[in-house]
Amino acid sequence: MNPRSLFTLTLLAGAVLVPSFAFASGGAPAHMSLNEILWDLGVKALNVGLLGFFVIKYLSGPLNRLVEARSDKIREELEAAKSARLEAEERLRAFREKTARVDSEVEELRKQTCADIDKEQKLILKEAKQAAEHIRQHARDTIRQEVLKARDDLHREASRLAADLAEDIIRKNIDSSDHDRLVREYVTDLEAAQ
């Protein structure tokens, strides 16, 4: 506020307040004539009018500037709030889109995982069947070889037992004359073969 406006306000306040102080200190006059009452009323009306004039003249500009500044500030804050609200709504929309995408990605991942698990189960079952078949075939081959080996062992054992039995029978039944005759026959057969 400039010094001129401050001086004017001081004068105006003095013009209004001095009569009020005077009235308060001495009390009201006992009897006033109509002219005195009208004069006093006219002075008070003039004081109020001057006060209103000076207030409007000198304070209306600063008050208008103050109101305009406040109005501009409120307008700027409203614009900032509107901008912030729009930005928040955009971020919310983007977040909801991301959430929707995440939900669909999670569902897609779940389906893919289920498909992978099914595929892996089938592969494991196939490999297990192949391994079982390989083990069965190996067991058959091993059993077949063991049976053949056992047969060979039995044939050898039977042959050895038959030879031992034949030897025992021959030893028991052949005497020295039979032995000499067999040796002569063998030598004869060898000479004939040459």
Is 171 contained in some domain? yes
Total tally of structural domains belonging to the chain: 1
- Residue 155 included in any domain: yes
Q: Which amino acid makes up residue 62?
A: P
Please report whether residue 38 resides in a domain: no
Position 11 scores a pLDDT of 62
Total-model pTM: 0.35
Residue 33 three-state SS: coil
Ranges assigned E (strand) in 26-70: none
H helices, E strands: number in the chain: 4, 0
Cα–Cα distance, 55 to 16 (Å, whole number):
13
Residue 179 lies in a domain: yes
Residue 61 lies in a domain: no
Confidence (pLDDT) at 27: 52
User: Which residues of the chain register pLDDT less than 50?
Assistant: none
Q: Is residue 8 part of a domain?
A: no
Burial 102-132 (b: 16+ CB within 10 A, else e): eeeeeeeeeeeeeeeeeeeeeeeeeeeeeee
Give the span between the Cα atoms of 122 and 116, in whole angstroms. 10
pLDDT at 101: 84
Could you tell me if residue 39 is inside a domain? Answer: no
